[in-house]
Structures are given as C-alpha cells and as structure tokens.
C-alpha cells in the first residue's frame, strides 16, 4: 500500500495562508491522505491553525490527519514537503522599526519587505532562521523539498543556495499569476485565454510575452492594447485595495516596453523614479501608497481576530481553490503528473544576462524528478540593467550574511536605488547604524557589533 506524504508547515500560525495551501492539497486525490504537521512558536496561533485544518479535513471528508509541534526538528522528521511562511520580528517591533527609523532621515517606503533598508534588515533577520531549518532538514528529512514563501524572497533563496546547495528548495510567490489575472481583467478578457512567459527576479520579473488566444488558435500580442488602455484612461481598473491604483507599472510599461509582475506599490520603492523628497506631485500623480505595509499589518491583525473566532464556531470551513503553486508542485512530484510553475531558484545560467549565482524567477517544469528550471537566455538589455540594480543589493546582503562582515550591510544600503537617490553617504552609514541598533537581538550577533574603523 502506497504511503501518504508528510507535509510540514513551519510558521503554521500564518493561518489564512496555511488554510489556503491545505485546502488546495486536500482536494488533490493523491495528497488527500497526507499528514499535515503544523509547527509554530506561538501556541495560540498553532491551536487556531489545528482547528482550521481539522475542520477542513472534516468538511472535505478526507483521510488526512493533523499534528502539532512546538519542536521544529520533530515537525520536520520524515517530511516530504516543507512549507515555510513566517515573519521574523513580526509587525511589532520589527516592521515598525523598518519604517520609523528611515523616516527620521526623510526616507519613505511603501512595503519594505524585499529591497531597500527595510528589505535588507528583513533579510538579516530571516536568513539565519531559514538556515536553521536547512540544518534540521539535513538531519531528519534530507530529500524533502522546501517550498519557501518568505520575504525577502530573492535574498532568502540566494542565501540558502549559497550555504546549503544540497537542499532542494524553491521560492514561491503569486505575483506572476496574480498580475496576469489583473491584466486580463483590465482588458476584459478571460484569464483562461491568456498566454504569457515571464522571467527576471522575484518582484522584478517581466512578461516577455503576454498574448490572447484567438478563435483560429493563433495568439495576439496584448502589449499594444495595454498601452492604449493606459493612455486612454481605461486601465488600470480599480483593484482590491483603493490605496493602490497600480499606475506605476503601467507607466513603466510605456518606458520599458514590458510589464513587471509585482505590484506598483512594491515597484515604486525598487527604483529611484517615484518616491522623492519634495516631490509630492509624483506621489499624487501615480497614487503611491507610502507606509502601505504597516497599514495592511494593522488591518490583518484586526481582521484575524474576527476570522479566528469565526473559524472556532464554524462547523464547516468551505474550501476555494487558491492561486498558490504549492499543491501543484506536491502533486507533480508525488504522482509524476507534470506541471509548470514560476519559481525562484539559483540562476545557474537560465537567464544568461544575469549573474550565474543570483536567485532568478523563471518557469519551471515539475514532475517526479523534482523542480527543473527552464532556459530563458538574455533578457532585453533595459530589463537586465534595471534588474541588476536590485541584484546588487541582494548580493551584498547575502555576502554580509555569508562572511559575517557588517561592512557589506552598508554597501548593500549604499547600492539601493531608492536610498541612494535620497540620502548621502554619511546619512546612509548613520541610518544603517541606527537600524542595526534598533533591531538589537532580532539580528545575528555579528551584525550588532558597531564598526570600529572604516573598511579599506
């Protein structure tokens, strides 16, 4: 009798996200008898997640079972798939610090989870914990696949590949398929009739092709339609968040000729063009939501209190298919049925115009042999140039982590496009000192040791 997979969630207290993944998994026949191992450091959130999983199992009438753990290694023991979703330091104190300290220097951010000084600090906080998971995986489940949903995705994926190249891992984000759905909506086209191919790095990948299937089976390039809709004021259409009108990406489409996969609020802080001191006109023109992520955190915390109570009292929890790739990957690996996902992996020459060792986001074939990235070749030169500005920051942050050299943290901040456009060198160095001091024990010890002399 064939065994059922063990799927471990590290950071299972991210209950809504975990619910979506488990709901997808349990609706796949080959996975419906899985053991769902939940691990979190917060006992209350862990209990809430266990309630949700058990009600999902009951609602779907499947043979899966849920287990809860406070010990990470025990949760990982014998796992086939590991889903990682956590935020080291939480909204308070660390997200608040990532926003409030830079404000003292006049440096404003929107999301601060991927690039910029906020993204650098988040990487320094997060990577050591991911490395700890890798250590435990090598000890108790060396053949398992890590499905990593943690930001800063590119820094995390790069750092894992550097220190633990033997770990099977993929960084997963829903921006590629999510944005494709948004663009189809903007053009009043069914998403099922859209064909696209995307490549780049996480949060800065671009649709190299974005096409609509015609009645005769051919495909039509939709980029002229998107540009026309933007210039005529028909796009972007209002989205789920009225604070985020999505104009930045459409403007960049008219400049670069390609549409980026991550949201306008993210993209605005990855470049030096949109958030500038003394330029409120830009903020107004493009609808840039400064301090957006803290607002979302507060809303999500309040929303979760109501949602948790609703889950506790509900007899059934209805399941809708999500747009996450996790269950597709697990099903393909477990059954051999092929699928294609967009994953963040070590580049290894897939995108020939980007560094060999960077974390690239490319189409990947998934089957019984695992996750197999596909070859892209060179990106258009303007896309390569822009992406490299972000890779500079990612690479130096990873170098700081690998070498435990605090100087590279300053170098990473110095190379950040938005930070460099706003602050001078003395301000950047002082800001990094203040950020490292404010984060304190959330950071590794080597990063908390103040510079004694300037590096040569």
What residues are labeled active site?
Answer: 174
Burial of residue 9 (CB within 10 Å: 0-12, 13-18, 19+) is buried
Tokens of 227: 């540009």
CA distance 288 to 265: 6
Do 323 and 174 form a contact (C-beta atoms < 8 A)?
Answer: yes
Helix-, strand-, coil-residue percentages of the chain, each rounded to 5: 50, 15, 35
CA distance 251 to 256: 9
CB under 8 Å to 294, separation ≥6 — which residues?
91, 95, 96, 99
β-pairing verdict for 219-221 and 81-84: unpaired
CA distance 306 to 48: 12
**Whose structure tokens read 């996750």?**
371
SS3 sequence of 121-177 = HHHHHHHHHHHHHHHHHHHHCCCCEEEECCCCHHHHHHHHHHHCCCCEEEECCCHHH
**Whose structure tokens read 């990235």?**
373
Tell me the angle at which helices 116-140 and 381-403 cross, rounded to the nearest 10 degrees.
Answer: 60
Using alpha carbons, list the distances in angstroms from residue 258 to 222, 252, 364.
11, 8, 21
Q: Which of 425, 423, 427 is nearest to 275 (CA)?
A: 423
Do 53 and 35 form a contact (C-beta atoms < 8 A)?
Answer: no
Element (H, E) at 329: helix 326-335
CA distance 271 to 372: 31
CB under 8 Å to 409, separation ≥6 — which residues?
120, 124, 396, 397, 400, 432, 436, 447
């Amino acid at each position: 009798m064939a065994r059922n997979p063990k799927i471990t969630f590290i950071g299972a207290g991210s209950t809504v996200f975990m619910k979506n993944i488990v709901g997808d998994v349990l609706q796949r026949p080959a996975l419906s008898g899985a053991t769902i191992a939940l691990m979190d450091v917060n006992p209350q959130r862990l209990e809430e997640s266990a309630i949700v999983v058990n009600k999902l199992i009951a609602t779907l009438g499947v043979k899966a079972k849920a287990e809860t753990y406070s010990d990470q290694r025990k949760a990982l023991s014998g796992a086939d798939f590991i889903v990682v979703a956590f935020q080291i330091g939480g909204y308070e104190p660390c997200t608040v610090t990532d926003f409030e300290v830079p404000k003292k220097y006049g440096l404003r951010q929107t999301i601060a989870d991927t690039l910029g000084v906020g993204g650098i600090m988040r990487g320094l906080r997060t990577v050591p914990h991911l490395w700890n998971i890798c250590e435990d995986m090598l000890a108790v489940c060396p053949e398992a696949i890590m499905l990593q949903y943690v930001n800063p995705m590119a820094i995390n994926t790069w750092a894992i590949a550097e220190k633990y190249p033997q770990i099977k891992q993929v960084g997963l984000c829903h921006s590629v398929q999510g944005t494709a759905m948004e663009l189809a909506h903007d053009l009043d086209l069914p998403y099922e009739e859209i064909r696209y191919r995307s490549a780049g790095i996480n949060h800065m990948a671009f649709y190299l092709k974005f096409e609509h299937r015609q009645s005769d089976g051919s495909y039509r390039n939709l980029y002229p339609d998107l540009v026309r809709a933007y210039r005529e004021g028909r796009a972007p259409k209002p989205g789920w968040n009225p604070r985020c009108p999505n104009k930045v990406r459409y403007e960049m489409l008219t400049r670069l000729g390609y549409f980026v996969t991550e949201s306008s609020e993210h993209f605005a802080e990855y470049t030096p063009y949109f958030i500038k001191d003394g330029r409120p006109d830009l903020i107004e023109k493009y609808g840039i939501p400064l301090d957006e992520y803290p607002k979302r955190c507060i809303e999500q915390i309040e929303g979760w209190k109501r949602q948790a109570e609703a889950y506790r009292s509900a007899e059934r929890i209805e399941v809708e298919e999500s747009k996450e790739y996790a269950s597709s990957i697990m099903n393909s690996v477990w059954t051999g049925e092929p699928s294609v996902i967009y994953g963040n992996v070590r580049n290894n020459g897939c995108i020939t115009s980007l560094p060999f060792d960077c974390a690239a986001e490319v189409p990947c074939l998934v089957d019984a042999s695992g996750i197999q990235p596909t070859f892209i070749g060179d990106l258009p030169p303007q896309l390569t140039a822009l992406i490299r500005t972000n890779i500079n920051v990612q690479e130096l942050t990873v170098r700081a982590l690998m070498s435990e050299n605090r100087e590279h943290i300053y170098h990473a901040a110095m190379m950040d496009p938005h930070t460099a456009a706003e602050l001078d060198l003395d301000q950047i160095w002082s800001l990094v000192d203040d950020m490292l001091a404010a984060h304190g024990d959330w950071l590794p010890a080597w990063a908390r040791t103040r510079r004694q002399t300037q590096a040569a």
